[in-house]
Amino acid sequence: MSADEQSPHDEITIPGAPSRVSPSREEPTHPVDPVPPAPDEQPAAAVSPTGRPSGEEEDRHQSGAWLTTAQGARVRDTDHSLKAGERGPVLLQDHHLREKVMHFDHERIPERVVHARGAGAHGTFTAYGTAAGVCRAAFLGEGEQTPVFVRFSTVVGSRGSADVVRDTRGFATKFYTGEGVFDLVGNNFPVFFIQDAIKFPDVVHAAKPHPDREIPQAQSAHDTFWDFVSLHTEAQHHTIWQMSDRAIPRSFRMMEGFGVHTFRLVNEAGETSLVKFHWKPRLGVHSVVWDEAQLINGADPDFHRRDLADAIEAGAYPEWELGIQVMPDSEDQTFEGIDLLDPTKIVPEEIVPVQPIGRMHLEANPANYFDETEQVAFHPGHLVPGIDVTDDPLLQGRLFSYLDTQISRLGAPNFPQIPVNRPHAPVNDMLRDGMHQSADHAGVAPYRPNSLDGGCPFTAGGDVSALIDVPQAVAGPKTREAAASFDDHFSQPRLFWRSLSAVEQDHAVAAYTFELGRCYEQAIRERQLEVLARIDTTLATRVAEGLGLPAPVGEEVETPFDTSPALSQVGGHWPVDGRVLGIVVDEETDLAQVERVRRATDEADMVPLVIAPTGGVLRSDDGTPIPVQRTLLTARSVEFDALLVLGAPRGSADPLAGTDARAMDPTAASSGAAVDPRLQLLVQEAFRHGKALAASGHGVEVLEVTGSAGAVGVTRGEDPVALARELIDLLETHRAWARFGDGRPDE
């Protein structure tokens, strides 16, 4: 085995490199044009501020080889300010200095008050045409293709917080349809904490860090959160989802999305139906385990963001099917006893199946995070003809909030003119002027009716498709009350609990115990335990045991639905696109075999990462270069979905010995026994997180010293390629579930 310094050209692309051109070691001296977006990146579409195709995408990129001021004047020196003498004071006339620093001082905009941390991507939605019977929206017509921009987010943490925290995830999609923008601003849970928008500031204040010390960041494991949800018991359904594995997704690509509220669809004949929107990921719904999540947040706080961008760069395009549950638009807007206006309720899929209506692929990363992901402005009120809202009081409040918040964040009412927000449909409003206006408005009469501009713009007549406000009859005394049908807070959390498999229930018990265990106030713990007892006494008893508290006695609420298997995420076989296989090698590993394993992994649309004691490039006997992507110093188990151990490097003096507690004491190596302790840790962690493991040759020794040999989902053999294929098969079930328990639903 030999290690070269230089990176070779490797046909198997490992995503994530910051630049597509390898930089020179020396500072470049010849001017070149600005770097265009990478092949996997795409800026917002080239449409004018008034929605016309401009075809001038490149005009938005900076151009010219020379550094200029914002006014286009070329600059000779950007490293020294203009001074009165080399050691003298800086002169006020230095426009370049002042412009540079002024702009820098204002680079930030306020982060979103919720959902501050997110990642976005461009894609395409292709409709099946199956919704035509219930919805007249043109973009749902058979074969129609609509560009989309999707932003995934966590809710509670600040913009710089870690990705894999226990939290709800936002799943917001902007459809740039020919009839205007439609935003489906959903979450990865189908229910919400509160039933009325007026409590939204309260629940967010409770979930956000405590106002005095501003801790804890990005998590619900603290007193104010549990104080709120135990007092507002409508929050318990959302809370049990939050304590389930759904709150720690393996990837944005492996999350369901839900519109949460019931929407009203209108067909060509003007008939209406009540629907709930669902996004179903092609890769299945998968999560990390809690211990893994905690490690990830230290090892790679950008885990989800990186996973999304890398998958797109590698061509493993994330994909979801959009589906709807269709319920009749009855007078009471209730279905099988479920109030469809209550956003804390689901309609079980076993009762109303989700009908697929289209498919979405995400195919391009944003060319610039700030321009697109930070400035994208969603709004549940961005609707197109055929889609209308209902009287769900939570949705009604959202219709106010999302316009309002953009004024704080994007500074002016002209935010729809920011490229990522521009409609791909002709815009002819009578909104004028305002800060950051960038449209050219012709004409003199932005009012209606007018005669000076020939009466333009006209309102759409009955024969022209236009937004519909369904003439829903409303009547009633003004009142600050909720309907009695909103009072059932427990039957659906109970349905959720009973639908989980045994291993998922174990995880939920551990999550409640952890979170309540992090609270300081005994009264809050006890109150929440009493509330849990109304959901399920076994759940409450198990959590109480973990907290060392007496089991509460409560009256369980009966649920009309026994279980809903669709709520469990365990079981089934799923595609493995973009999953990461770590391949451990040492100086004795047969590198020709490693190369074959890499190819087989790449062919399975997975990412092979070679882990060796030190970095560089290895060469097989026939000279094939094999780049090392991780060393024992830089690898951490959480990055890999499965491990193939083809070597057992001995412990050696780490380059940073003494600064890394995991590095081995070099004197211990001579004692003979030791497989490098960092490799042992790697395998032990992967093992306890239920990941698939395989070993061949010396690697088998690693399984033995870590005590993982012979366990479920751990395999060994002579042929590394056959082992890699076995691992890929195992990965289709996501985890070796039996290592945690039997994974079957609780009897």
Footprint on residues 106-125 left by ligand HDE (CB under 6 A): 112-115, 118
Indicate which single residue of 170, 284, 423, 697 sits in contact with ligand HDE (rule: CB under 6 A): 170
CB of 194 to ligand HDE, least distance (A): 7
CB of 406 to ligand HDE, least distance (A): 6
Question: Nearer Cβ to ligand HDE, position 1 or 403?
Answer: 403
CB of 634 to ligand HDE, least distance (A): 32
Question: Nearer Cβ to ligand HDE, position 248 or 260?
Answer: 260
CB of 207 to ligand HDE, least distance (A): 12
Footprint on residues 638-667 left by ligand HDE (CB under 6 A): none
Indicate which single residue of 42, 173, 187, 569 sits in contact with ligand HDE (rule: CB under 6 A): 187
Nearest to 164 by CA among 310, 307, 282: 307
Contacts of 459 (CB under 8 A, 6+ apart): 448, 466
Task: Please pick, among 96, 187, 232, 689, the residue that the annotation labels catalytic.
Answer: 187
- Number of chain residues interacting with ligand HDE (CB under 6 A): 25
Site string for ligand HDE, 191-210 (x = CB under 6 A): -x----x--x----------
- Is residue 567 within 8 Å of 508, Cβ to Cβ? no
| Cβ atoms within 10 Å of 475's Cβ, excluding its own | 4
Question: Nearer Cβ to ligand HDE, position 66 or 400?
Answer: 400
Tell whether residue 237 is a contact of ligand HDE (CB under 6 A).
no
Indicate which single residue of 176, 335, 378, 486 sits in contact with ligand HDE (rule: CB under 6 A): 378
Nearest to 376 by CA among 683, 43, 671: 43
Task: Using alpha carbons only, give the angle 121, 126, 132 rounded to the nearest 5 degrees.
Answer: 135
Site string for ligand HDE, 254-273 (x = CB under 6 A): ------x-------------
CB of 189 to ligand HDE, least distance (A): 8
Indicate which single residue of 51, 186, 301, 348 sits in contact with ligand HDE (rule: CB under 6 A): 186
Footprint on residues 596-625 left by ligand HDE (CB under 6 A): none
CB of 107 to ligand HDE, least distance (A): 19
Question: Nearer Cβ to ligand HDE, position 25 or 480?
Answer: 480
Q: Which stretch binds ligand HDE (CB under 6 A): 128-136, 181-189, 642-650, 725-733?
A: 181-189
Tell whether residue 181 is a contact of ligand HDE (CB under 6 A).
no
Q: Is 115 a catalytic residue?
A: yes
Tell whether residue 225 is a contact of ligand HDE (CB under 6 A).
no
CB of 493 to ligand HDE, least distance (A): 17
H-only helix segments in 54-175: 95-105
Helix (H, G, I), strand (E, B) or coil at 558: coil
Q: Which stretch binds ligand HDE (CB under 6 A): 31-39, 374-382, 527-535, 716-724?
A: 374-382
| Angle between the N-to-C axes of helices 290-299 and 502-517, in degrees from 0 to 180, rounded to the nearest 10 | 60
Q: Over 135-164, what HEC string results? A: CCCHHHCCCCEEEEEEEEEECCCCCCCCCC
| Cβ atoms within 10 Å of 17's Cβ, excluding its own | 12
> Given the structure tokens 């907290």, which residue do they identify?
547
Q: Which stretch binds ligand HDE (CB under 6 A): 186-194, 236-244, 489-497, 565-573?
A: 186-194
Rounded to an integer, what distance in angstroms lies between the CA atom of residue 174 and that of residue 382?
9
Rounded to an integer, what distance in angstroms lies between the CA atom of residue 167 and that of residue 120?
18
Question: Nearer Cβ to ligand HDE, position 114 or 274?
Answer: 114
Question: Nearer Cβ to ligand HDE, position 339 or 595?
Answer: 339
Question: Nearer Cβ to ligand HDE, position 185 or 645?
Answer: 185
**Up-side HSE of residue 615: CA atoms within 13 Å toward CB?**
9
**Torsion of the alpha carbons at 666, 668, 670 and 674, rounded to the nearest 10:** -110
| Cβ atoms within 10 Å of 371's Cβ, excluding its own | 16
Query: And the tokens for 95?
Result: 């426009």
Q: For residue 646, which phi and psi values (nearest 5 degrees)?
A: -110, 10
Question: Nearer Cβ to ligand HDE, position 369 or 402?
Answer: 402
Pairing of strands 334-335, 272-281: unpaired
Indicate which single residue of 42, 48, 146, 153 sits in contact with ligand HDE (rule: CB under 6 A): 153
The amino acid at residue 509 is V
Question: Nearer Cβ to ligand HDE, position 153 or 251?
Answer: 153
Furthest-apart CA atoms within the chain: distance in Å: 96
Pairing of strands 263-266, 607-612: unpaired
| Cβ atoms within 10 Å of 319's Cβ, excluding its own | 18
Task: Please pick, among 96, 115, 424, 507, the residue that the annotation labels catalytic.
Answer: 115
- Is residue 70 within 8 Å of 103, Cβ to Cβ? yes
- Is residue 181 within 8 Å of 418, Cβ to Cβ? no
Helix (H, G, I), strand (E, B) or coil at 177: strand
CB of 192 to ligand HDE, least distance (A): 4
Q: Which stretch binds ligand HDE (CB under 6 A): 54-62, 295-303, 309-317, 375-383?
A: 375-383
Q: Which stretch binds ligand HDE (CB under 6 A): 242-250, 372-380, 431-439, 595-603?
A: 372-380
Query: And the tokens for 19?
Result: 């630049």
Q: Over 183-226, what HEC string results? A: EEEEECCCCCCCCCHHHHHHHHHHHCCCCCCCCCCCCCCCHHHH
Question: Nearer Cβ to ligand HDE, position 234 or 639?
Answer: 234
Rounded to an integer, what distance in angstroms lies between the CA atom of residue 735 and that of residue 741?
12
Q: Please give the C-alpha separations between residue 406 and each of 92, 104, 469, 723, in angstroms, as whole numbers.
A: 35, 22, 24, 53
Footprint on residues 394-423 left by ligand HDE (CB under 6 A): 394, 397-398, 401-402, 405
Helix (H, G, I), strand (E, B) or coil at 226: helix
Cα 420 to chain centroid distance, Å, stands at 19
CB of 421 to ligand HDE, least distance (A): 11
Question: Nearer Cβ to ligand HDE, position 47 or 394?
Answer: 394
Q: Which stretch binds ligand HDE (CB under 6 A): 292-300, 373-381, 459-467, 549-557?
A: 373-381
Contacts of 522 (CB under 8 A, 6+ apart): none
CB of 201 to ligand HDE, least distance (A): 8
Task: Using alpha carbons only, give the angle 75, 77, 78 rounded to the nearest 5 degrees.
Answer: 90
Helix (H, G, I), strand (E, B) or coil at 344: coil
> By Cβ distance, which residue is nearest to ligand HDE?
170
CB of 263 to ligand HDE, least distance (A): 11
Looking at the DSSP bridge assignments, the partners of residue 502 are none
Site string for ligand HDE, 48-77 (x = CB under 6 A): ------------------------------
CB of 464 to ligand HDE, least distance (A): 31
Query: And the tokens for 465?
Result: 């498709």
Task: Using alpha carbons only, give the angle 372, 375, 377 rounded to the nearest 5 degrees.
Answer: 110
Question: Nearer Cβ to ligand HDE, position 53 or 201?
Answer: 201
Enumerate the active-site residues.
Answer: 115, 187
**Interface contacts to ligand HDE, rule CB under 6 A:** 112-115, 118, 151, 153, 170, 172, 185-187, 192, 197, 200, 260, 376-378, 394, 397-398, 401-402, 405
